[in-house]
Every structure is written in C-alpha cells, then in structure tokens.
A and B are shown apart, each in its own frame.
Chain A
Amino acid sequence: MTLLKVENLHISIATQNGILQAVRGVDLDIRKGEVLGIVGESGCGKSLTAMGLLGLLPKSARRSADKIEFLERDLTLVGAAELRAIRGNQIGMIFQDPMTTLNPSYTIGNQLMEGYLHHRHATRKEAEERAVYLLNRTGITAARNRLSQYPHQLSGGLRQRIVISMALMCEPELIIADEPTTALDVTVQAQILSLIKDIQEEMSAGVIIITHDLGVIAQMADRVAVMYAGNVVEAGPTHAIFSAPKHPYTAGLLSCMPDASRSGRLGQIPGVVPSLIGDMRGCAFRTRCPHATDPCRDDIPVHRDPGGHSWRCTIASQPAGATGS
C-alpha cells in the first residue's frame, strides 16, 4: 500500500542572485513499512525536498507539486490546521544536528511530551509514561531522570536518541530522517542507524532516510532515490542500484566508494555541480559525465524496467560500472 506519493515537486528560493530552483520535479514513492533512501551530494536539494513535503520551508521558498499524496490525502490541498494535525502525529521528523534541534530552554520531558499532549489530548501522566517508554526503547539509561534534564546536559548521541524518541511519540506512519547521523561520532552513527532500523521494523513504519553516505543506504534502505542538482536521476530497489546502476552519476558515486564492502562517504566525481539559478535544459550532469553527447542538451527521457528501476538518461541501458574516473 502506498504511504506517500510525490509527483513533480518543485521548490524555488528567492536569493540575491536570482531564483534558485533547488528542487526540479522530484517524484518519490514510498510504501508502508518500507525504507526509502535519498542520496546525493550536499546541496542537491535533499533537505528542501523533505521539508517541502510537510510545508516546513523557509519563508523565501516557493513550492509546487502535481501532488503530495499521504495516506489518500493530498498535502498540497489540505489546510494549515489539517497539516499541523499530520505533522508530528502521522509524520515524524528526525533532523541532522541534535545540538540545535532541541530548544535549550526547556527540559527534555517538556519537549518530548509537548507534541503528544497536543495531538492526543492525553494527560500528563500518560504522556510521561509514553516518553519514559520511548527513552527506554531508544536505549537511554535512567530514562525517568532524563525528563527533567536540559539538552545541554546531554551528549550528542543521547540527544539524537531523544530527537528520535520525540519523533516516535505519536506513533507516526512515516518517519523522515534527514542525515540523522551526520553530526555524530562514527562509533555512535552505527548504533543510531540500527536503532532507527529496529524501530522501523517494530512499528512497520515507512522511513525516508536522507544521506550523502552510500554506506547508510546499503545498511538501511529497501529502495533508493539518487538525486542530482534538484532532480531524482535514478530510483529503484537498493540491490538493483548497487549491482547495476543505470545512470552515469550513480555509477560514478559507486565507483568512488572507498572499498568493496560498500561503506563510506560519497567520493569525488571530477567537475562541479551546475548553478541552480534560472532554468536549465537537458541533463544537469552532462558537464561532468564521461558519456555526454549532443542529445544530453535536450529533454531527457525516463527509462523504466520491470523491477521498478527508473533512470533519467539519454542512454537507455548503461552497463554497470562503465564509467571511469
């Protein structure tokens, strides 16, 4: 069953240099109980895409989409109050930097319980029990005592567990995690990832995990969407993407991975990302693509194979790993 279906999402931001078209027609599709990974270099529009789904964009941003369908409701059409009733309740968010995500002036307990009290009209006692349960579940010791502590008293790893607990308070159907481990120590990263995975399986929630780390994708995602310059250039089942990438950009990313065990950050593909200001015709990757030809300047067709694998490229079938660097 489809949990979330996004069609043709555009986000533009007014900047001093002109209109920055940061997201340029993204399509996403996530089923219940599935983990969708969104991967791409920094600045390709992953965070804006995630924020755009829930209308959490900065004031200078404009969003348009053919539809953002969440559990049969089109989020582009619902009113502000209905959207608020979905946020934090049916869709939970986990952000990148646990040091700044929590309000320094309020206790952990206050911030954990706030959304639950608001959405569920629960008593404080119930909210507190739920908070303690989740703190225990996310591996926090002395959970009840944590409720009266302040964010600055806790380490980054602990805070991220609290942010995760906070996202889970109302048992959301969808969890959006935007680079949930990027700001953490390497040792803590693996723990947090497996925690998210465990909880996702336990709650059979849908998860969108955003990362620039293909290792995270390999560990977590059932399906992957690869983004480049504001667009999804390739999407499909994780194993298909890793074993037979179709888009030269994906192939380049994979060949840049440091070792065969397939873990590590995105490496360096030569060249620079084109400016996102103003219109752009043709393939955005062509300036860095070893296979670029004249047709890459025109509109790019989308190819699909029966396994749910799709890619935007002039080349209908790109042999795996064919790109050198």
Chain B
Amino acid sequence: MSVFLLKRMGLAIVVALVVSLFSFFMLRAAGDPAIAMAGEGATAADIEFIRQRFGFDRPVAEQYLSWLGGALSGDFGESSYFAKPVSLLISERLPVTLGLGLAALVFSILLAVPLGMLAAVYPNSIIDRFALTLSVLGQAMPNFWFALMLIVVLAVWYPLLPASGNAEWRNFIMPTIVLGYYATPAIMRLTRSGMLEVLGADYIRTAHAKGIPARNILFKHAMRNAILPVVSIASVQFGYMLGGSIIIESIFALHGIGQLAWESISRADLPTVQAIVLVLSLIYVGLNLAADLINAWLDPRIRIA
C-alpha cells in the first residue's frame, strides 16, 4: 500500500512540474510578454521598465527557477493589473471555484449514479430511455447555451433565482446545474455499463445462489465493483469542470478563479495566468491521486498486490 502511495504521489509531483514548465514557456513563447503587458501605445521606455520590473530580461530558465522557488513558498509574484500579490487574488477567488466545482460534482454524481444504476438494472425500460435521452441532451447542448436558457427561464420569465453575482448560495444554483449537467452523461454511461457488466458476473450469481436478497446484492456485491471506474471518471470530469468554470463563471459573473483567468488573459496579466495554470493543474493532479487512493481503498486487488 505505502509503495503504491509513494509511486502515485511521485508521479503526481512530476506531472505538476511538467505542466508548470510547459505553461511557463508557452506563455513566453507566445510573444514578448513585456510588450503584451504594456499594452497599446506604450513607449519603449514603458516596455523596458516592465521588462526589468518583472524580470523578463533574464534568461528564461533563470526566470522559471526563481518563479518556481517563489511558487513553492506560496509567492507567485505580483499581478501586473491589480498591483496585488497573486497569491492573495487566488486565495480570494479559489474558494468560489472549488465550491462551485464540488457542488457541481456532487450534483452530477447524485443525478448520474442512481440513474445509471437504474438503467442497468432495468435495461430498455422507460427509465433507461429517460437516462439515455438526458445524456444525449447533455452532450448535444453547449453549456453556455444551457446557461443562457436557464437564466431566461429561471431568472427572467420566472424570477426565482439571481442571474449573476456570488453574494449568496442561491447564486450558485444555476451554475451548479449547468456545470454538473455537463459531467452527467459520461458518469451516467460509465455507471450503466459498469453495472451491466458487474450484474452479469459470476459472483453475482453466487450471491443469488446463497439466497441473499436482490437489494443487498445490488448495493453490496454489485455497486462496490461497478463504482470503481466511476471514481476515476469523476475526477477527470472535475478537471473538465474547472476548465468549464471559465465560461460559466463569466456568464454568471461569479468572482471565481475561472473568471479571473479569463480576465487575466485578456489583460495579459502574466503572473496571474501562470499561477492559475499551476494551481489548477495541481488540483487536477491531486484529484487523480485522490481517485487512485479511493480506488485502492475500494479494490483490494490494487491495495494488496
């Protein structure tokens, strides 16, 4: 177990480092960052000032190492737009995004797992068709469009929910539904197919032969094994949702990290963009690690080699 854990953690750290390296060099390869940050109409002196102020005149490798050194101690430098430490910006914005992502994940799991299981237990039934329809719709609808439709219906026609801002929990309902629904089809289909496979397994027949009630067989013998692939995909979907939050937060004017990322890109706020990429990739890598650990805990074949 501990060997498995160490291996996974080591891998997670390597992946996070590689991502940070990539993002760092890509952002610099896209053009002279000093010119982009200085904006239109800047004088040569302005550009030179920025270049020195943010250290763009130094060799890239050196920049990276000093940035990484700072990042490791939680110092991401200063935002070129807000003139505030980036770490402060992130710590203000991250809880909004994580809260939204978590709520959306819970929403989609609560929707997808029971539906997927029912669809597998009663294949080709009404409930199976309903699940299929829901998942096809979820894939066909762009989520910005779905978000706008929700706003039209639930905020304009029937003013039940606030359309923008993040003042209270009711602000999060629509973004949660949009983002959560986005992840539902994949989770549901995997639950259904995993469950169908498991229900046909020999050990399910064994449990029936032992006279165990069907309900116990479903929840004990089947679910435990069917849920394994779902844990992995849920973490992947959570990663997608963090990406999707860039659009959703902008639509609903939630002051989260997605919105910050979007705005910082258009403001060429390099230190902030860089830090966000690193933080999000760390979260993503951490999630995969968590999924691996949950699976190891659920599946003794992984846990006990």
A residues sitting closer than 8 Å to B (CB atoms) are 51, 54, 56, 84-89, 92-93, 95, 97, 100-107, 114-115, 118-119, 150, 152-153, 163, 166
Contact = CB atoms under 8 A, between A and B. Distances in A.
A100 B220 CA distance: 17
Given A105-B224, A153-B304, A115 B211 contact: yes
Contact of B202 (A87, A88, A97, A115): A97
Given A104-B299, A105-B298, A150-B301, A56 B221 contact: no
Interface residues of B, number: 21
B225 to A, nearest CB: 6
B141 interface: no
Contacts of A85: 211
Nearest to A80: B214
Contacts of B205: 51, 56, 95
A104 B225 contact: yes
A115 B210 CA distance: 6
Contacts of B201: 100
B300 A88 contact: no
Contact of B209 (A54, A102, A152): A54
Given A103-B221, A118-B213, 19 more contacts: A56-B209, A87-B208, A89-B211, A92-B209, A95-B209, A97-B202, A101-B202, A102-B206, A103-B206, A105-B221, A105-B298, A105-B299, A105-B300, A106-B221, A106-B224, A118-B211, A150-B304, A152-B301, A152-B304
Contacts of B210: 87-88, 114-115, 118, 166
A93 B299 contact: no
B207 interface: yes
Nearest to B201: A100
B25 interface: no
Contact of A86 (B206, B211, B221): B211
B202 A114 contact: no
A101 B221 CA distance: 12
Given A150-B301, A152-B300, A152-B301, A102 B211 contact: no
**Interface centre among B202, B203, B211, by most A CB within 10 Å?**
B211
B209 A87 contact: yes
B212 interface: yes
Contact of A103 (B209, B225, B304): B225
Given A95-B202, A95-B206, A105-B224, A84 B211 contact: yes
A24 B207 CA distance: 28
Contacts of B211: 84-89, 115, 118-119
Interface string B211-230: 11100000011001100000
Contacts of B300: 104-105, 107, 150, 152
6 contacts: A88-B211, A93-B206, A95-B202, A101-B203, A103-B224, A152-B300
B209 A88 contact: yes
Contacts of A152: 300-301, 304
Given A56-B209, A85-B211, A93-B209, A103 B301 contact: no
B202 A84 contact: no
A163 B203 CA distance: 11
A92 B221 CA distance: 19
Contacts of B299: 104-105
A105 B300 CA distance: 6
A166 B209 CA distance: 11
Nearest to B300: A150
Contacts of A102: 203, 206
Contacts of A153: 304
Q: Nearest 9 A-B pairs (CB), nearest first?
A: A88-B210, A87-B211, A88-B211, A115-B210, A100-B202, A103-B203, A93-B209, A150-B300, A84-B211
